[in-house]
Amino acid sequence: MIRGIRGATTVSQNDAIEIIDNTRQLVLEMIEQNKISASDVTSVLVTVTTDLNATFPAKPIRELPGWKYVPVMCMQEIDVPNGLPRCVRIMMTVETELKQEQIKHIYHHEARTLRPDLFE
């Protein structure tokens, strides 16, 4: 079955190192919590809010061991008034045996406010 796994994180400023570090931490937890193998990943879409342009957040994903050939694409998030600032969002499409309700969507830092319904 093909499933989407969501994740999001925030950074304190438009800083390349922080964007890369926070994105790496987020993706590593998405992988661990959902037992993802790179060979099962169809693609990864990464969006950033308009206030983040210091680097491509896809970089740490492409550098993961075994992830060289996984298609990863960055794009800009819709600039919604009063939206969460300095946010990196990820949609990972994977082949998995997990049921929809078993997928663990991961939200770090201020991004937890995006989907409080997923946290108990």
Which residues are known catalytic residues? 6, 62, 74, 77, 89, 107, 115
User: DSSP for 28-70?
Assistant: HHHHHHHT--GGGEEEEEEEE-TT--SS-TTHHHHTSTT-TTS
The distance from CA 62 to its chain's CA centroid, rounded to whole angstroms, is 13
Residue 35 is given by DSSP the state T
